[in-house]
Amino acid sequence: MNILLFPPIAFILIFIFAYILFKLITPPPAYGAIKSAIHKASQAGGEVTPTLKDEETCDYRQFFPLAVFFTILHIAGLMLATWAFIPLAETIGPIIAYLISVIIILAVLFV
């Protein structure tokens, strides 16, 4: 296989290509320093403060159970899919691991 098709190299090549294409076919960007009304941050008919203050920063605490749910399901999925194609799949191991995963996930979701 050609090294240029190796995913990390392909990723970098396409990133550079897309950025050069963008630079070639679009007018230069207008940065926030320009003082026309269109560049003012406004929402729902009124102006808003241009930058976030501490009290306006979003609270991520409600986010944590979802993050745990996401992580556990990800890992459980990868573990189960791995066990399914190695000789260990002939044993009862995947079933036990699966049941433990499900119990943890349901505990995160509903308790």
User: 3-class DSSP state for residue 41?
Assistant: coil
Count the alpha carbons within 13 Å of 100 in the hemisphere toward its beta carbon: 10
**Residues engaged in binding another protein (CB under 8 A):** 1-2, 4-7, 10-15, 17-19, 22, 25-33, 38-45, 48-52, 56-58, 60, 63, 66-67, 69-70, 73-74, 77-78, 80-81, 84-85, 89-90, 94-95, 98, 102, 105, 109
Residue 56 CB, shortest distance to another protein, in Å, is 5
- The two tokens of residue 106 are 């349901």
1: enclosing H helix or E strand: none
Residue 51 CB, shortest distance to another protein, in Å, is 4
Measured distance CA(105)–CA(68) in Å, rounded: 9
Residue 85 CB, shortest distance to another protein, in Å, is 4
